[in-house]
Amino acid sequence: MGITVEGATKSFGDFQALNDVSIDVPNGSLTALLGPSGSGKSTLLRAIAGLETLDGGRVLIDDEDVSKKPTQKREVGFVFQHYAAFKHMTVFENVAFGLKIRKWDKDKISGRVHELLGLVQLEGLADRYPSQLSGGQRQRMALARALAVEPQVLLLDEPFGALDAKVRKDLRTWLRRLHDEMHVTTIFVTHDQEEAMDVAGQLVVMNEGRVEQSGSADELYEQPATEFVMSFVGEVNRLGEQYVRPHDMTVALDRDDGAEEAMVQRIVALGFEIRVEFVLGDGTEVWAQLTRAELQKLELREGQIVYLRPGEIKSFNGDVPSSDGHGASTPHSPPDDDDAEVSAAV
Amino acid sequence: MEAHSATASAPRAGLRLPGVGAGLGRGTVVLYLSLIVLLPLAALTSQSFEEGFSTFWTQVTSPQAVRSLELTVMCSLIVVAINAVFGTIIAWLLVRDEFPGKSVVNAVIDLPFALPTIVASLTLLALYGNDSPVGIDISSTRIAVVVALLFVTLPFVVRAVQPLLIEMDREMEEAAASLGAGGFTVFRRIIFPNLLPGLAAGVALAFARALGEFGSVLLFAGGLPQTMVSSVFIRQQIESGNDIGAAAVSVVLLVAALLMLAVITWVQRWGSRHERSSGGGLTVMPMSGENFTKVEDDDEGH
């Protein structure tokens, strides 16, 4: 069931949460709404579910205008950041809730609930209360509860936001697999760009109540339409009006035309990745992402003067973004001292 | 480990009275409770049995005593039932609704607490007495007993339910709605069960207060045989020199209050059974490594 939102607007008092937002989510896709907090992504999701009434615009599910339909009739499964577990009910009762509302008979409910508990790997915990579960288990229970009623669409609002990093990663993988099996149209909200790229096939980047850009993870990363997308999706250095990814910074030890003098401020080893922070002559702080091998080859140390050459540069001065990697990038002069120069763009 | 399991093992690190201090502390508490509560109660009970059980029984089963006890318990039950409903509605409006003068209403709720009960009965008499400006004279009737008790027990349920409503996770209601539950079902299946412990506590306190209410009832409902509640009856017995009768009826009220507390405690335990860690004493979850850390980082505009 595809979801379409047309010209959605919504304000809370003076705060404009949604400002003429239109999105199109194809049937069976897994789409992420990505943006910082206050960008309107949660409001948009809640509007699709009918938990928020739009001031203007329409929501269509499977080409049917559901704008006037109450939540109860929209057949959406909704998963909340803080689980919204019915804490006075057991895990079984939680998952069975929607089915009881639909007046299924007892045996059928029992069968369906156990099937779902199997799916979310909570067999054996059916008689527990939510307070006896861990965060990750609670969220899986909430997912089973939402899926029990076979919703047309599944909406997840920062579903892993309250979990710690490791559980988050596990659940992320697990959600992607679940989606591959179920093919239910899914939208999930996150402020974590890595999470969005990991899980979703399609991303919609939102900022200040508007859609900045939508597309695949590659499209957003390679061809960001706006400054905001460039800096929100992936890491970025800003040099005046120009932007460059940290892995597109080339570090050379010898003076070089077109390279800028910089001082190494700090070297941070993050496992395989090494983060080297520099300060330029004009005080601008930038950083480069190097591999361990590259760092060893350069033998950088803090306080050292080096020469930085940004690789692929993008600028957003109202012109067509030069994202082809040639136009705006500094000409690559033939290196005269090969072993002292390593390009981080591998 | 879980956040909740911290509450499972009661005394945790924190300020504690060390060694000798702990014994001294407990001794002080026992002594204090004994002087203020336990010994007077024991004295009262022993006084009521001073002339043996048969005297006690005769006093308690005298027609007037029975009538006053019946009236007291019946009126208290009615009052508690009414205030359970209206107290919940008032708490609901105070928490979920925005209306002009809300803070005034919120303050007024506590007035029956603050007001001397004799003043309460005067105010009721002014409106519903024989000079009633609205033409309703219910003074010296059983209805007056109920109205007086309604007045003085109003705050209990409101103040017990209010914090639970404030703390209630609204997303539970939204989740239920997204699963197809209509407004009434959401209230019955989600909201009410979560209010039950508070409601029970409020009802218990209101009932105890209603059982013993004296001042407001005396003036408004009078000391007529048909409106004589037990507290008024007890005073009458003392005035006529029947100390054993007074003590005997007091003991019956005491037992009624204890019974109510027992029932309420049971209801509360049952209503919050989900908050106790598992019965088998096993709180460690099989999926280890899953840490529960609540992160409040979603400040989207809703």
pLDDT tier for residue B185 given thresholds of 50, 70 and 90: very high
* Residue A37 C-alpha, separation from nearest chain B C-alpha, in angstroms: 6
Which residues lie across from A206 on neighbouring strands?
A: A211
Query: Which tokens in the block code for residue A74?
Result: 């929209």
pLDDT tier for residue A330 given thresholds of 50, 70 and 90: very low
Cβ contact B302–A46 (<8 Å): yes
* Residue B134 C-alpha, separation from nearest chain A C-alpha, in angstroms: 44
Query: Which tokens in the block code for residue A61?
Result: 């599910």
What pLDDT is attached to residue B291?
Answer: 37
With contacts defined as CB-CB under 8 Å, which chain A residues touch B284? none
| SS3 assignment, position B16 | coil
State chain B's mean pLDDT as an integer: 82
- The number of beta carbons lying within 10 Å of the beta carbon of residue A46 is 24
Helices B52-60, B243-271: inter-axial angle, 10-degree rounding: 80
Backbone angles phi, psi at A309, to 5 degrees: -125, 110
**Is the CB of residue B255 less than 8 Å from the CB of residue B247?**
no
Residue B191 lies in a domain: yes
**Is the CB of residue A110 less than 8 Å from the CB of residue A170?**
no
How many contacts, defined by CB atoms under 8 Å, are there between A and B? 146
Average pLDDT over residues B263-284: 65
What is the full DSSP assignment across B17-44?
--HHHHHHHHHHHHHHHIIIIIHHHHHH
Query: Which tokens in the block code for residue B219?
Result: 């003036």
Residue B232 lies in a domain: yes
Q: Residue A59 and residue A68: Cα distance in Å, rounded?
A: 9
Secondary structure tally for chain B: helices H, strands E? 14, 0
Backbone angles phi, psi at A47, to 5 degrees: -70, -40
Task: Please check whether residue B292 touches A, CB under 8 A.
Answer: yes
**Sequence-ordered list of residues with C-beta below 8 angstroms from that of A229, at least 6 positions apart, any chain:** A205, A212, A213, A220
**Is the CB of residue B128 less than 8 Å from the CB of residue B148?**
no
Element (H, E) at B44: helix B39-48
State chain A's mean pLDDT as an integer: 86
Query: Which tokens in the block code for residue B109?
Result: 């709720």
Q: Which structural domain range is residue B117 located in?
A: 63-286
Q: Which of B7, B179, B192, B294 to mutate to test the interface with A (most CBs of A within 10 A)?
A: B179
Residue B207 lies in a domain: yes
First to last CA, chain B: 31
Q: How confident is the model over B121-169, as pLDDT tens digits? A: 888 888 888 887 888 888 888 899 999 999 999 999 999 999 999 999 8
pLDDT tier for residue B13 given thresholds of 50, 70 and 90: low
Residue A51 confidence (pLDDT) above 90: yes
Residue B49 lies in a domain: no
Residue B280 lies in a domain: yes
Average pLDDT over residues A310-338: 51
Backbone angles phi, psi at B55, to 5 degrees: -65, -45
| Radius of gyration of chain B measured on its C-alpha atoms | 24
Task: Please check whether residue B136 touches A, CB under 8 A.
Answer: no
With contacts defined as CB-CB under 8 Å, which chain B residues touch A187? none
pLDDT tier for residue B17 given thresholds of 50, 70 and 90: low
Q: Residue A50 and residue A62: Cα distance in Å, rounded?
A: 15
Task: Please check whether residue B6 touches A, CB under 8 A.
Answer: no
Residue A220 confidence (pLDDT) above 80: yes
- Reference A278, options A300, A255, A254, A298; nearest CA is A300
Q: Any alpha helices (H) in chain A, and if so which ranges?
A: 41-49, 91-101, 106-119, 135-148, 165-182, 193-199, 217-222, 227-232, 292-298
Chain B stretch 138-177, residues whose beta carbon is closer than 8 A to a beta carbon of chain A: 169, 171-172, 174-177
Task: Please check whether residue B189 touches A, CB under 8 A.
Answer: yes
**Sequence-ordered list of residues with C-beta below 8 angstroms from that of A26, at least 6 positions apart, any chain:** A2, A185, A202
Cβ contact A88–B294 (<8 Å): no
What pLDDT is attached to residue B179?
Answer: 94
Is A257 or A325 the better-scoring residue by pLDDT?
A257
Q: How confident is the model over B40-92, as pLDDT tens digits? A: 888 888 888 888 888 888 888 999 999 999 999 999 999 999 999 999 999 99
pLDDT tier for residue B276 given thresholds of 50, 70 and 90: low
pTM of the predicted model over 0.95: no
Cβ contact A164–B181 (<8 Å): no
What pLDDT is attached to residue B51?
Answer: 83
Q: Which of A87, A132, A163 sits opposite B278 (nearest CB)?
A: A132
Residue B5 lies in a domain: no
**Is the CB of residue A129 less than 8 Å from the CB of residue A121?**
no
What is the full DSSP assignment across B172-193?
HHHHHHHTT--HHHHIIIIIHH
Residue B34 lies in a domain: no
With contacts defined as CB-CB under 8 Å, which chain B residues touch A161? 295, 297-298
What pLDDT is attached to residue A327?
Answer: 35
Q: Which of B172, B290, B295 sits opposite A86 (nearest CB)?
A: B172
Q: Residue B178 and residue B166: Cα distance in Å, rounded?
A: 22
Residue B285 confidence (pLDDT) above 70: no
Count of domains forming chain B: 1
Residue B183 confidence (pLDDT) above 50: yes
Q: Residue B212 and residue B197: Cα distance in Å, rounded?
A: 23
Cβ contact B193–A88 (<8 Å): yes
Residue A230 confidence (pLDDT) above 50: yes
pLDDT tier for residue A65 given thresholds of 50, 70 and 90: very high
Task: Please check whether residue B186 touches A, CB under 8 A.
Answer: no
Cβ contact A51–B194 (<8 Å): no
Cβ contact A40–B297 (<8 Å): no
ipTM for the whole complex: 0.80
Element (H, E) at B171: helix B170-178
**Is the CB of residue A36 less than 8 Å from the CB of residue A207?**
yes
Residue A346 confidence (pLDDT) above 50: no
Residue A35 confidence (pLDDT) above 80: yes
Residue A339 confidence (pLDDT) above 70: no
Q: Which residues of B2-25 are buried (b: 16+ CB within 10 A; e: fewer)?
A: bebbeeeeeeeeeeeeeeeeeeee
What pLDDT is attached to residue A5?
Answer: 95
Residue B101 lies in a domain: yes
The CATH number given to whatever domain includes residue B68 is 1.10.3720.10
